[in-house]
Amino acid sequence: MMQYRNFGKTGLKVSVLGFGTMRLPTTSGKPDEHIDEKEAIRMIRHGIDAGINYVDTAKPYHGGRSEKVVGKALKNGYREKVAIATKLPTWAIDSRKAADKIFDEQRADLGTDKIDVYMLHTLQRSFHSVVQKHKLIDWITKKKEMGQVGHIGFSFHDDFAYFKELVDSFDNCEFCQLQYNYVGETVQAGTQGLEYAAEKGLGIIVMEPLLGGVLAKPPGKMGKLFASPEGKNFNPVDLALRWLWNKPEISVVLSGMTAFEHVVHNLDIAGRSGTLTDKEAAFIGKLRETYDKSQPIKCTKCRYCMPCPSGVDIPLNFEAYNNHAAADKGSDLFKVLYGMMAGDIRADQCTSCGTCETNCPQKLPIAKLLETVHAGLT
């Protein structure tokens, strides 16, 4: 049975599992291609029927198609069963008028006059001047005062120092959305941010609980730990999600589910989210240590760096390199796979234009890393 938690001091009770719509099924299987609408709607509605009452989307997801599909999924009585969460694409705002236009488009696409949970998207230092120039905190506050938004907050991709600054300066902020998982306690806002937000009474939404799928199918030595006598009875997704739900500060954990079986599996885990055993906690400690040693590039595959002006598939190249690093010594499998990649998407096509580095939430030195990828896989 689904469990529910307080969403900060908002008065909302939200399901511990939220439906993230950044990675819906597509007709081609590629992340940015057209959504398989029929299957996506079936998945979302099944999740809601089983108790999910929090659905998260955003303007840029699936090339602008995600909000429209969510709007279709919430017809026929489903709208009344959920809190809709979406975001203002901060980086795309050049005026208050532009923000109003996007906001109205979002309401139309979602089929609702009022957005329950609305946030400034991807707040980080590089967008601070935009927020200040157009007074977007005042703008979002007025949307709430007008009754067009239920609750206001922000999603975050930067370090703890900037997170604290934001929380302290965002009057009337009710929640925050953070990247967090058991290998990311010191990444971005991290555990410090989680605890600071809780002290302030904010609702806390967690994204990337499985690190873009890496923790669902752990590579190399992490995978071997699950195959060992100690780990053979553990499930990777189960451990990753329950590690988060073991923290009472967290209100809702978003899962970007791509297949119907993901929904079924995650619902099962959510129904029995509870305290981790000492054995489970110790095993997660070993997984964390192994990950830190085996994954040289800390990419979450969020794809905010895409599209690349030169056509490089940046996350795919990083995934290939990380998999190679995590594989057994002497394995040339990922070198072979890299060699089979289409030439125009490989790392060596990078021109160091810097566009991706401006957009990367992890602040990765992408151009240098792509040089490393190409050198390591050829």
User: Tokens 């599909």 label which residue?
Assistant: 69
pLDDT, tens digit (0-9, with 9 covering 90-100), for 17-61:
999 999 999 998 776 668 999 999 999 999 999 999 999 999 999
Q: Which residues in the chain land under pLDDT 70? A: 31-33, 326-331
pLDDT at 61: 92
d(CA 315, CA 44): 26
Q: Residue 332 carries which DSSP code?
A: -
Q: In this structure, are residues 124 and 145 in contact, taking their beta carbons and an 8 Å threshold?
A: no
Q: What is the chain's Cα-based Rg? A: 20
> How many CB atoms within 10 Å of residue 122?
24
pLDDT score, position 28: 86
The tens digit of pLDDT for each residue in 209-259 reads 998 888 998 878 899 999 999 999 999 999 999 999 999 999 999 999 999
So what's the pLDDT on residue 322? 84
One-character DSSP codes across 8-56? TTSS-EEESEEEE-SS--BSSS-TTS-B-HHHHHHHHHHHHHTT--EEE
Q: Pairing between strand 17-20 and 252-256?
A: parallel
- pLDDT of res. 351: 96
Tokens of 319: 């995934």
From the CB of residue 229, how many other CB atoms can be counted at a distance below 10 Å? 6
Locate 261 and state its tokens.
Answer: 């079986």
Looking at residue 329, its pLDDT comes to 53
Question: Please, which residues have CB within 8 angstroms of residue 70's CB and are 6 or more apart in sequence?
Answer: 21, 44, 55, 57, 84, 109, 110
Pairing of strands 4-6, 13-15: antiparallel
For 124-139, write each residue's pLDDT tens digit: 887 899 999 999 999 9
Nearest alpha-carbon partner for 178 in 206, 212, 211: 206
Of 112, 117, 111, nearest to 88 by C-alpha is 117
Taking alpha carbons only, the member of 87, 287, 254, 284 closest to residue 178 is 254
Do the beta carbons of residue 81 and residue 112 sit within 8 Å?
Answer: no
pTM: 0.86
First to last CA, the chain: 50
pLDDT value, residue 31: 66
Cβ contact 58:67 at 8 Å? yes
